[in-house]
Chain A
Amino acid sequence: MRRLPLALWVGGALTLLFFGLAALSVVWTPFDVTKLIVSSRLKPPGAPYLFGTDHFGRDVFSMVMVGARTSIMVAVVAVAIGMTVGVPLGLWAAARRGGWLDEAIMRLNDLIFAFPSLLLAILITATFGPGAVNAIIAIGIFNIPVFARLTRAGALPLWTRDFVLAARVSGKGAGRISAEHILPNLSSLLIVQGTIQFSLAILAEAGLSYVGLGAQPPIPSWGRMLNEAQTMIYVAPWFAIFPGIAIVLTVLGLNLLGDGLRDLTDPKLRRAR
Chain B
Amino acid sequence: MTLYLLRRAMVLALTMVAATIAIFVMLEVVPGDPAVSMMGVNATEDAVQALRVELGLTADPLTRYVDWIWGMLHGDFGISYTYRTPVSELIGERIWISLPLTLMALALSTLIAIPAGVLAASRRGTGTDMSVMGATQVGVAVPNFWFAMLLVLLFSTVLRWTSAGGFPGWDAGVGPALGALALPSIALALPQAAILTRVMRSALLDTLNEDYIRTARAKGLSERQALWRHGFRNALIPVLTIIGMQFSFLLAGAIIIENVFFLPGLGRLVFQGIVQRDLIVVKSVVVLLVFAVVVVTLAVDLAYAAVDPRLREGRS
What residues of chain A have their CB less than 8 Å away from a CB belonging to chain B?
Answer: 107, 110-111, 114-119, 122-124, 126-127, 199, 203, 206-207, 210-211, 226, 229-230, 233-234, 237, 240-241, 244, 247-249, 251-252, 255-256, 273
* Given A114-B290, A122-B270, A126-B274, A226 and B146 contact (CB-CB distance below 8 Å): yes
Q: Does B149 contact A (CB under 8 A)?
A: yes
Tell whether, in the assembled complex, residue B19 and residue A115 are in contact, meaning their CB atoms are under 8 Å apart: yes
Is B23 a contact partner of A123 (Cβ separation < 8 A)? yes
Which listed residue (A111, A124, A207, A273) contacts B19, Cβ 8 A?
A111
Assembly CA distance A233 to B23 (angstroms) = 37
Q: Which residues of B contact A234 (CB under 8 A)?
A: 157
| Contacting residues, chain A, for B255 (C-beta < 8 A) | 118-119, 122, 211
**A119 and B290 contacting across the interface, CB-CB below 8 Å:** yes
Q: Of the candidates B153, B252, B282, B294, which one forms a contact with A117 in the assembled complex, judged by CB atoms under 8 Å apart?
A: B252
Tell whether A210 pairs with B26 under 8 Å between CB atoms, given A114-B19, A116-B293, A255-B137. no
| Closest B residue, CB atoms, query A130 | B274
A157 to B67, CA, bound (A): 47
Instruction: Kindly state whether residue B41 has any CB partner on chain A within 8 Å.
Output: no
**Interface size on B (CB < 8 Å)?**
44
Option from A111, A206, A248, A255 in Cβ contact (under 8 Å) with B18: A111
Chain B positions within 8 Å of A233 at CB level: 149, 152-153, 157
Residues of B within 8 A of A126 (CB): 30, 274, 282
B66 within 8 A of A: no
21 contacts between A and B (CB under 8 A): A107-B11, A110-B15, A114-B19, A114-B294, A115-B22, A115-B293, A118-B252, A119-B252, A119-B255, A119-B289, A127-B30, A199-B141, A210-B256, A226-B146, A230-B149, A233-B149, A244-B142, A244-B150, A248-B138, A252-B137, A255-B137
In the complex, which residues of chain B have a beta carbon less than 8 angstroms from the beta carbon of A211? 255-256, 259, 271
Interface string of B212-243 (1 = CB under 8 A from A): 00000000000000000000000000000000
Please provide the 3 A-B residue pairs with the shortest distance between their CB atoms, ordered closest to farther: A116-B252, A251-B141, A244-B146
- Select from chain A the residue with minimum beta-carbon distance to B253: A118
Whether A237 contacts B153 by the Cβ 8 Å rule is yes
From B26, B137, B143, B251, contact of A247 by CB (8 A): B143
Residue of A nearest to B245 (CB): A113
With A117-B252, A119-B255 given, name 15 new contacts (CB 8 A). Answer: A107-B14, A110-B11, A114-B290, A114-B294, A116-B249, A116-B251, A116-B252, A118-B255, A119-B289, A199-B141, A207-B143, A230-B149, A244-B146, A251-B140, A252-B137
CB-CB under 8 A from B14, the residues of chain A are 107
Interface contact A116-B290, CB-CB below 8 Å: yes
What is the bound-complex CA distance between A199 and B143, given in angstroms?
Answer: 11
Contact yes or no, B138 A252, CB < 8 A: yes
Min Cβ gap B113→A in Å is 18
Distance (whole angstroms) from the CB of A191 to the closest CB of chain B: 19
Q: Cα distance A152–B7 when bound, in Å?
A: 23
| B137 and A127 contact, CB distance less than 8 A | no
Q: State whether the Cβ of B38 lies closer than 8 Å to any Cβ in chain A.
A: no
List the B side residues contacting A249 at CB < 8 Å.
141
Instruction: Tally A-B pairs: CB < 8 A.
Output: 109
Q: Closest residue of chain B to A117, judged by CB?
A: B252
| Nearest CB on A from B4, distance (A) | 16
B140 close to A255 (CB less than 8 A) = yes
Inter-chain contacts of A248 with B (CB < 8 A): 138, 141-143, 146
Provided the pairs A115-B19, A116-B251, A127-B29 are in contact, do residues A207 and B153 lie with their beta carbons within 8 angstroms?
no
Tell me, in angstroms, the Cα distance from A10 to B281 when the chains sit together.
46
Chain A residues contacting B18 (CB-CB under 8 Å) are 111
CA distance A273 to B198 in the complex (A): 13
Interface check B80, CB cutoff 8 A:
no
Annotate B261-291 by CB proximity to A: 1 below 8 A, 0 otherwise: 0000000001100100000001000100110
Name, among B11, B146, B251, the residue most crowded by chain A CB atoms within 10 Å (CB to CB). B146
How far apart are the CA atoms of A206 and B141 in the complex, in Å? 12
Q: Enumerate chain B residues within 8 angstroms of A207, measured Cβ to Cβ.
A: 143, 145, 256
Would you call B122 an interface residue if the criterion is a C-beta within 8 Å of the partner chain's C-beta atoms? Answer: no
Pick the residue among B26, B140, B253 that contacts A127 (CB under 8 A). B26
B1-53: which residues lie under 8 A (CB-CB) from chain A? 11, 14-15, 18-19, 22-23, 26-27, 29-30
Q: Which of A118, A123, A244 contacts B256 (CB 8 A)?
A: A118
Are A114 and B297 neighbours in the complex by a CB distance under 8 Å? yes
Contacts of B290 in A (CB 8 A): 114-116, 119
Partner of B145, one of A114, A116, A199, A226: A226
B260 interfacial contact with A, CB 8 Å: yes
Q: Is B162 an interface residue (CB 8 A)?
A: no
Give Cα distance in the complex from A119 to B137, angstroms: 25
Distance (whole angstroms) from the CB of B119 to the closest CB of chain A: 16
Which residues of A have CB within 8 Å of B146? 206, 226, 240, 244, 247-248
Q: Is B248 on the interface with A (CB-CB < 8 A)?
A: yes
The residue in chain A whose Cβ has the minimal distance to the Cβ of B138 is A252
Q: 1/0 per position for B122-144, CB-CB distance to A under 8 A?
A: 00000000000000011011110
